[in-house]
Amino acid sequence: MHRSSFGPLHGWGRPFLKEEAERAFYDPFWHAHSHWLTHPKSRTISPQTNVPVALDTNQFTDMCGGIKGGTTRGSHASYRQGCDTLEVSLTNNDALPGSGPDGDARAGSGPDGDARAGSGRDGDARAGSGRDGDAQSGSGRDGDARTGSGRDGDARAGSGPDGDARAGSGPDGDARARSGPDVDARARSGPDGDARARSGPDGDARARSGPDGDARARSGPDGDARARSGPDGDARARSGPDGDARARSGPEGDARARSGPDGDARARSGPDGDARARSGPDGDARARSGPDGDARARSGPDGDARARSGPVAGSGPDGDARAGSGPDGDAREGSGPDGNGRAGSGLDGDAQAGSGLEGDSRVGSGPEGDTQAGSGPDGDVRAGSGPDGDV
């Protein structure tokens, strides 16, 4: 039982019964719209919870007459004490075009847009209070997905200094997506936000992380995917300074097991990586090798694929598995100085054909690349309009 001032509808000071509140909440006239407002003038005080609640857009079109009331997000109704508390038209602050100066998705009030009703400085997804936006209620400085508090956010998985998609990465690359200084694979992890979860200073996906984020567990300074990592992240286990895919690696990462300083595929390797077994200083494919690695047998000084220094040999100066062109070898045709997955064109390689400075997943158009067509200076997921993109 509580008191409510609902004007002519219930009488001033008359007790407002729980049944009446529920009837008012479920009345179709009061629920003609599903979006909510965040403008200060659209808030009132719930008599039961004593906290601000949002009112529906078109309940107050008759500014001083008719029904004066609203609905809350709970099962109790809100109240107002007369029309003098409603000094602005609520129809100018609706939920679709957003009120931020740079646009948002629905009704964000941040200066650079958000998704629904976020109050962060540069947009968020629903009601985040972080400085540069988040997804739901994150309080991080530059946004996250739900409750992340990382400084620069990410999408789903751990990232390097500026985010990636799912797997950990080295300073400019990762396992499945792009993690250069300003790009990732499926969401934005630059200085202003990420996609779904709590993060370290530069974002991660589902768990707390080291200074630069990871995916499901703590990581080194540059993030990983599911487990602790070295300073630059890996995918599922600890890694060297530049990350690997599933196990420990050397300084440049590998695929599934420990590696030398430049990574390998599934087993320990020399300083430049190999595929499945231990190798010499520059890696090989399936067996031990000479000083620069080979595929199935020992090789000459720079490695090959199936026989000694034959034409099918890796083209990197230190050998790889098939035809890597990076100075330290990669899996197939990576062009980054330290190798990548397939044919990345970024400075240090990426996943497919990123065009950002450090590479991305597909075609990012931001100065550092993004996933599809982000318009923020550092790219976003689809078409974010904030200075650094949003979700």
* pLDDT, tens digit, 9 for 90 and up, residues 57-109: 333 333 333 333 333 333 233 333 333 333 222 322 333 333 333 333 333 34
Per-residue pLDDT tens over the stretch 277-336: 333 443 333 333 344 333 333 333 444 433 323 333 333 333 333 333 333 333 333 334
Express as a percent the part of the chain with pLDDT over 70. 0
69 to each of 14, 26, 79, how far by Cα in Å? 15, 13, 5
Q: How far apart are the first and last CA of the chain?
A: 42
Q: Which residue has the tokens 């997921």?
A: 381
pLDDT, averaged across the chain: 37
- Looking at residue 243, what is its pLDDT? 38
Rounded to the nearest 10°, the torsion over CA 197, 203, 204, 210 is -120
- pLDDT band at residue 207, thresholds of 50, 70 and 90? very low
- Looking at residue 213, what is its pLDDT? 37
Q: CB-based contacts of 48: which residues, under 8 Å, 6+ apart?
A: 2, 76
Rounded to the nearest 10°, the torsion over CA 70, 76, 81, 87 is -30
- Looking at residue 383, what is its pLDDT? 38
Which amino acid appears at position 358 of this protein? Answer: E
- Looking at residue 359, what is its pLDDT? 36
- Looking at residue 114, what is its pLDDT? 39
- Looking at residue 14, what is its pLDDT? 40
- Looking at residue 239, what is its pLDDT? 37
- Looking at residue 151, what is its pLDDT? 35
Copy the structure tokens of residue 139. 């309080």
- Looking at residue 172, what is its pLDDT? 34
In terms of Cα–Cα distance, which of 48, 115, 126, 97 is closest to 25?
A: 48
Copy the structure tokens of residue 202. 């530069």
- Whole-number Å distance between alpha carbons of 288 and 274: 9
Q: Are 238 and 231 in contact (CB under 8 A)?
A: no
- Side-chain-facing half-sphere of 74: CA atoms under 13 Å: 14
- Whole-number Å distance between alpha carbons of 224 and 279: 25
Indicate the pTM of the whole model: 0.11
**What's the whole-number mean pLDDT along residues 182-196?**
34
- Whole-number Å distance between alpha carbons of 201 and 253: 22
Q: Are 365 and 377 in contact (CB under 8 A)?
A: no
22 compared with 64, residue with greater pLDDT: 22
Q: Are 256 and 266 in contact (CB under 8 A)?
A: yes
Q: Are 326 and 340 in contact (CB under 8 A)?
A: yes
